[in-house]
Amino acid sequence: MDTRAISPARHEDGRTLTLAGFAERFNMSDLSGLPRLWQRFGPHIGQVPGAHGHDSYGVCYNPDDQGGFDYLAGVEVSTAASLPEGFSQLTLAPQHYAVFEHHGSLQGLPATFNAIFQQWLPASGEQQANAALFERYPAGFDPADPQAVMEIWLPLAR
């Protein structure tokens, strides 16, 4: 599997995040639907009722033993009372995280994930917590920009 050099992780204590967006079930054997999910959600960024902040998030949660997981493409919301039809809401509890930066287009993202899980995590002495992992994309993020920077927040067991 392709891996890449990753920047050292920083450790963060996250806060409660309430997110709203589009969610679907995926499997690690076929992630081809992820870009389509983001293409569907993208036009809603900046238009979601109750949106708070300017970042967007990709959240992996509810994994199973067969490689399946739920993924939400969304934004932080202060309230979800008036979400449009078809939107899902997810609240993440405060958690301790190792945070990694991914530099470059999203084509290289699988190699960054491989480096985190195949190199950093085994060598770190840390254990992944049974909690959601998320990607944080800054406002204006361009997935094709070779200079783009986004973050991967890996939950750690205490």
115 within a domain of the structure (yes/no): yes
Burial class (CB in 10 A: 0-12, 13-18, 19+), 157: exposed
Q: Establish if 122 belongs to a structural domain.
A: yes
Q: Do the domain assignments include residue 135?
A: yes
Q: Is residue 126 part of a domain?
A: yes
* The model scores a pTM over 0.85: yes
- Asked if residue 74 has pLDDT above 80, the reply is yes
Q: State whether the Cα torsion 155-131-28-51 is positive or negative.
A: negative
- For CA atoms 13, 64, 126, 141, the dihedral sign is negative
- The answer as to whether 5 is a domain residue is no
- Residue 1 resides in a domain: no
Rg (CA), the chain: 15
Give mean pLDDT, residues 144-153: 94
pLDDT of residue 2: 65
Does residue 16 carry a pLDDT above 70? Answer: yes
DSSP 102: E
Number of domains in the chain: 1
Instruction: Show the domain range for 17.
Output: 10-155
> Which helix (H) or strand (E) is 100 found in, with range?
strand 96-103
CATH number of the domain that residue 61 is part of = 3.20.80.10
What pLDDT score was predicted for residue 130? 95
Residue 2 belongs to a domain: no
Percent of the chain with pLDDT over 90: 82
Token readout for 154 is: 């890996």
Residue 4 lies in a domain: no
